[in-house]
Amino acid sequence: MPSQLPPAPTEAPRLQHADEALLVLDKPAGLLAVAGRGEAGQVHLAGWVQQRWPEALLVHRLDMATSGLMLFARSAAVQAALGELFAARLVDKQYLALVHGHPAQDSGDITLPVGADWPQRPRQQVDAVHGKPAHTRWQVLERHFTPAGQPVARLALQPLTGRTHQLRVHLLALGHAIVGDGLYAPEGITAPRLMLHASELRLPHPLTGQPCHFSSPAPF
């Protein structure tokens, strides 16, 4: 008998791009990138993609709570080529976030090392002793107030490294945690989700070398 298919996600991912080498998917917030623990962990983007493109291979991940663009390779050779592009920092990832408060500056760089907060896993933390180097570039796009008068700001973010929870930890360290972040944000502003979205990917095509640009508007 054929094996039972895993359940479909509540909100279907959206195909942004497909060619002989690449798939670009728009992942909804709340959907795992890969399989997790338990029954709920069987619903994930990689499984949804591989039901439709069995040859598809994961290239990078997003946190479950983060929405936006993810790449899949359509062969092991392309997966390896994309891995080299990421390692050489030739893949430019841009995120949009809504954060607590109004940053005093219009832009800046955060270069604080990030490592696991073992007693409070899955939390990460700034760790000058055991953390790995991490670099985030940020820019304020808009400052405004919620209807309740709470200051919030929309930021464009460029992670130049790819540490776990890097953007969330770096913005917390900046004093402007992401709205809706159940792990790191202070109480006071409620939100239906983590207000973090992978909005743009720029990279040379792994087969042709031609520049590729994929974008997804933030749903908040």
Q: What is the pLDDT of residues 117-146, one digit of tens each?
A: 999 989 999 999 999 999 999 999 999 999
> pTM of the entire structure?
0.93
**Residue of 204, 201, 203, 207 whose CA lies nearest to 78:** 207
Quick one: tokens of 208? 């042709």
Per-residue pLDDT, 149:
93
Q: Report the range of poorest mean pLDDT among 15-29, 123-137, 181-195.
A: 181-195
Per-residue pLDDT, 8:
63
Q: What is the largest distance, in Å, between two alpha-carbon atoms of the chain?
A: 62
Q: Across residues 186-198, what is the average pLDDT?
A: 88
| Identity of residue 215 | S
CA dist., res. 9 & res. 6, Å (int): 9
Q: Mean of the per-residue pLDDT values for the chain?
A: 93
High-pLDDT (> 70) share of the chain, % = 94
Cα-trace Rg, the chain: 18
Residues taking part in catalysis:
63
Q: What is the SS3 assignment for 107?
A: strand
Domains (ranges, CATH) in the chain?
Answer: 14-91 (3.30.2350.10), 94-196 (3.30.2350.10)
